[in-house]
Every structure is written in C-alpha cells, then in structure tokens.
Amino acid sequence: MNDAVTARVKGSLRTMVDFDCPTCDADAQVQAVAADHLTCRTCGASRPFRLGRLHLVTGSPGTGKSTVGRVLATRSPTDLVVLDTDLTVRPEHDSSEGAWLGFIDTWLRTAVGVAQGGHSLVLVGYSMPHQWEQQPLRHFLGPIDYVALVCSDRELDRRLRERSWMGSQPGERAGLIELNRTFRSRTDMTLIETDQRSPEAVADRILSLNCLRSRPRDGGSS
C-alpha cells in the first residue's frame, strides 16, 4: 500500500486516498472518517483525507441524461468534474445485482478519489439511491445529492420510438415508461421535468440547485 502524498494548494488539501490503513493494513471498515483526515481504529494512525460530495444525475433511459450531461460538462465550474457512467459500463454489469453493485462501487471509489484533488463529481447515469447507500465504502463519501430527470409517459414514448437502441421495441418501451413513473414517484430525489425544457435549460437548472451553488471551493468537505 502506497503512502498518501499530500500538498497544500490555495489552502486546499490534496491527497491520494488509501481505503485500507497504510500503516498496519487494517481494512477499510475500521477506518474512522472525518472531514479532513482518516484514523485507523486498529493502530490509531491518522492520515490526510478530504470528505467529498457526489452529485448524481439519474433517470430512465430517454429522459435526456446523456444529452444534458454533455451540456453540463461545458457549463460547469472548473471544480466540478462531469462524467457519464457509460465510460465504464460493460455488458456483464447487467448480469446480476451483485455485478451492478460492483459497478456502483467503482464509481463511489472514483468520487472519493476525485474529492482528494479538491473537486466534486457530477455523475450522469442510471442508478438508484439504495444501490449507493448500501455500499461498504459509503462512509468514505459525504452527502450524495440525487437528481432525477423525468418526463411524461407520452413524451418518453415518443422519444423511445425515435431511438434505434434501448427502448425502441414495444416491450422495452413499456418497461422504461414504468421505470420513469417510479422515478416520478420518488420523494428522496430532486425531480426535473424535461418535457418542455431544452438540454441547456435542464443543465442550468441542475447547476442552480443549492447543493451545487453552496459547495465549498477551497478546503473543507465538498
């Protein structure tokens, strides 16, 4: 296990994260997490850390996530990193619930790593809150802000019919419309309707959310 390398830049701590203790190799589950350091409960060693924040943009296929994500990437401040989960998705991730949770684990680790450089991650792609909240490494990340893009059944049906990939077939459309209804019923997410909004307007609405406008810029937790 490599030691964490740290530097101070404009008052912000930057560090490479070790989930396991680099001193005694105790695993991640016995690491106590604070805003600016980790402490091993086994040996007592402390090391620098930055507790980050994740902004998750999710929703059913066809609600505009990928298009909005591309706009977000061009409009976001430099301390926000915008990535699409499709960057790492593989067919085997859909083979089982365990495989999908492993996919989420990879992105959680990525969000923690991004935070060590003083940045916050805006992650665009389908997932549900419980898939994040049950992760073994969840305590290494601060708040997760869940934003769901939604639209009406009729609009989603129209969009899916125009596609040549997922959702173009009647059986697929029915399932995705039901998934969109599930998102629309959620009370633990910020819902953004995309029926009448342009991708630019949706991106601006996301960037206007308090969780993004009020994030710390220099030092402290994101």
What pLDDT, in 10s, does the model give residues 140-174? 999 999 999 999 999 999 999 988 777 667 788 99
pLDDT in the model for residue 81:
94
Tell me the C-alpha distance between 106 and 51, whole Å: 17
pLDDT in the model for residue 5:
34
User: What one-character-per-residue DSSP string does 126-188 give?
Assistant: ---HHHHHT-TTGGGEEEEEEEEEE--HHHHHHHHHT-SSTT-SHHHHHHHHHHHHHHHT-SS
Question: How far, rounded to the nearest angstrom, does the alpha carbon of residue 193 sit from its chain's CA centroid?
Answer: 20
Tell me the C-alpha distance between 60 and 149, whole Å: 8
CATH 3.40.50.300 correct for 52-213: yes
Contacts of residue 130, defined as CB under 8 A and 6 or more positions apart, other chains included, come to none
* Tokens standing for residue 28: 């991640």
Fill in the DSSP letter of residue 75.
H
pLDDT in the model for residue 219:
41
Tell me the C-alpha distance between 144 and 124, whole Å: 13
Give the closest residue to 125 by CA, choosing from 102, 137, 140, 107.
Answer: 107
Q: Name the pTM for this structure.
A: 0.86
Tell me the C-alpha distance between 54 and 11, whole Å: 21
What average pLDDT score do residues 96-120 get? 94
- Could you tell me the residue ranges of all domains in the chain? 6-48, 52-213
pLDDT tens figures, 82-100: 999 999 988 888 889 999 9
What average pLDDT score do residues 25-38 get? 96
Bridge partners of 147, per DSSP, are: 57, 190
